[in-house]
Amino acid sequence: MAKEKETTNQFEYTEDSIRSLDWREHIRLRPGMYIGKLGDGSSPDDGIYVLLKEVIDNCIDEHTMGYGKQVEITIEGKNVTVRDYGRGIPLGKVVDVVSKINTGAKYDSKAFQKSVGLNGVGTKAVNALSTYFKVTAFRDGKEKTAEFEKGVLIKEHREAKTDAPNGTEIFFTPDDTVFKNFHFLHEYLDGQLWNYCYLNAGLAMILNGKKYVSKNGLLDLLQRKTNEDEIRYPVIHLKGEDIEVAITHENQYGEEYYSFVNGQYTTQGGTHLAAFREAFVKTIREFYKKDYDAADIRGSICAAISVRVQEPVFESQTKTKLGSQVVYEDGPTMKNFVNDFLSKELDNFLHRNPTTAEALKKRIEQSERERKELAGIKKLANERAKKANLHNKKLRDCRYHYNDEPTGKDKAAILAKQSESTIFITEGDSASGSITKSRSVESQAVFSLRGKPLNCFGLTKKVVYENEEFNLLQHALNIEEGYEGLRYNNIVIATDADVDGMHIRLLMMTFFLQFFPDLVKNQHVYILETPLFRVRDKKETFYCYDEAEKQKAIKKLGGKPEITRFKGLGEISPEEFGRFIGPEMRKQPVIIEQGEHVQQLLEYYMGKNTQERQEFIIGNLRVELDLADETAS
């Protein structure tokens, strides 16, 4: 009884249970509340990119207010420097602006009418989550610098004279105890900077010497995202006060959207994107005087929308989904604002450009024919999916899903878990068994493939419904009716690191790129990295992902350690597997780089066995063999 009483007292709720945290402690204790998920840099919404965004957003706000035409970013290893040429932080407030919560100019709506950051947290979060942070303000011939470590002020310099032009420079090193094993991926940085430029025509951004600039805004965005030979008509580009849209249709499947609010890329859309999708359908129906199905109107669309809103309300601190229903105080709803713009400007454009109007009509009617042709096949496929008892046989589901509406009091925590939602696509019973036993049932699901998937390059979407594996997979992902129903934020292809596994991986990538390219373009598809070797002695164990890591582990252990070569995922025990799909999971994103086009990629890698591809394979094989020889020696 005495022991029981002692245990109970540990959880008594008294005055001593109450803690007061300062701003820095709270950010470090609950970083997800401020920057979303942490991650290692393999996802575009990982924390290190959010830190960079928070700093750059301040530069963009200065540019939007008419100050500064250039932003310079330098990233060397894990160190980041951002320099703008705006007005510069007022020298007397340099320390406060980056270290006192609820301090900043964004509260003065006259100074920053349509800013991205409105809560005064951005650079404070960067400061608190960096091992080292330095801010320097240049203003009217004077400069002031302050240095911090993990948010703690270590040195405040005196004001000094300077010849440097006005502006602000921030240097920071993300804390690698928070962002474990992190690295910056150039492809994500590239996309991030291009988006800033598309939304701020004329602004020059320079990353490690490479210059980014856009003259035509969203028109440039769509022209870079699409292939001139694949689009059905030239990009429609419309601009109004606080709104800009660009629209075209392609030959590929799905709907592809890029939506922005006050310069922020809203990867999960929100009220502005929903308003655009609805208003586009309404305007098209009225123009052609025909009640086309919404799916036919929007099928194969590629569009971008940017709006500027006074004091926007986002659904999370990371600002990936707009919640605001009103554009301005006492102004129109977002739905009415977007609808009024499109119903006038798009309608006028189509009347003035009959060739484009005819091409758009043909694309819609083609989608209509394809949908009707698929109707019967889809019905049979849906019945087969039900009979297959998907959720008991092929899919081991998880609790939280990506696009579910969060319920309950702790909305922020639920949104964070939804962003972590992952489905592993595995081959064979042994691999899926290991992952199923070691996964997190809250956020990780497992889909088991049977045999090698079909090479679907060049086939129509009919095959998705006729092929049982593809049909069941699209039902598991909940993407039959479109991308917005996606149940998992991360689709991770988990195959063996042998020739067969590589082949299955390639076939699955072809499936997504052929029929659901928007999943890849919006960075939802990944390749799981699992260790090739286990190197251990009686005291230590190292899991190595390549030959170089293996040699390093052997040297560290010395002697003759035990070396195991994992040939398949099924050889890794569930206990071990838990290490590789947990918080420190290594996964490589499937990325389509700026200027690359899906059909050209698929034609090259999955089309006929061309001489070009043979030469590519032989050339890369030689490189791999040379590297292996160097490592061995």
User: For residue range 430-472, what is the model confidence (pLDDT) as tens digits?
Assistant: 778 888 889 999 999 999 988 888 988 888 888 888 888 899 8
Residue bearing tokens 């039900």:
386
Segment 22-36 mean pLDDT = 81
Residue 494: beta bridge partners? Answer: 426
CA–CA dist 460, 250 (Å, integer): 15
Rounded to 5 degrees, φ, ψ at 45 are: -100, 15
560 alpha-carbon distance from chain centroid: 43
How is the chain split into domains, by residue range? 25-212, 218-371, 388-530+568-596, 534-565
The lowest-confidence range among 6-10, 176-180, 396-400 is: 6-10
Segment 368-384 mean pLDDT = 84
Give the closest residue to 127 by CA, choosing from 26, 45, 19.
Answer: 26
The predicted structure's pLDDT at residue 20: 60
Segment 131-156 mean pLDDT = 95
The predicted structure's pLDDT at residue 207: 96
CA–CA dist 614, 594 (Å, integer): 25
The predicted structure's pLDDT at residue 409: 66
CA–CA dist 359, 148 (Å, integer): 58
Give per-residue pLDDT as tens, 307-319.
988 777 777 656 6
What fold does the segment set 388-530+568-596 form as a domain? Rossmann fold (3.40.50)
The predicted structure's pLDDT at residue 367: 92
Instruction: Centre a 10 Å sphere on the Cβ of residue 574 and count the other Cβ atoms it contains.
Output: 13
Q: Which regions of 450-597 does DSSP assign to beta strands (E)?
A: 490-494, 525-529, 533-536, 541-544, 562-565, 586-589
Max CA pair span of the chain = 88
Please, which pLDDT band fits residue 154 given cuts at 50, 70 and 90? very high
b/e code 166-189 from CB counts within 10 Å (16+ = b):
bbbbbbbebbeebbeebebbeebb
What fold does the segment set 25-212 form as a domain? Heat Shock Protein 90 (3.30.565)
Name the class of domain 218-371.
Answer: alpha beta
The predicted structure's pLDDT at residue 109: 46
Is residue 196 pLDDT above 80, yes or no?
A: yes
Give per-residue pLDDT as tens, 75-127.
999 999 999 999 999 999 999 999 887 555 544 444 445 555 433 468 999 99
When computed from its CA atoms, the radius of gyration of the chain, rounded to whole angstroms, is 27
Is residue 240 pLDDT above 80, yes or no?
A: yes
Rounded to 5 degrees, φ, ψ at 360 are: -65, -40
User: Alpha-carbon dihedral of residues 429, 433, 435, 441, nearest 10 degrees?
Assistant: 130
The predicted structure's pLDDT at residue 170: 96
The predicted structure's pLDDT at residue 110: 44
User: Alpha-carbon dihedral of residues 296, 299, 304, 308, nearest 10 degrees?
Assistant: 40
CA–CA dist 59, 168 (Å, integer): 8
Please, which pLDDT band fits residue 244 given cuts at 50, 70 and 90? very high
Instruction: Please provide the average confidence, as pLDDT, over all residues in the chain.
Output: 84
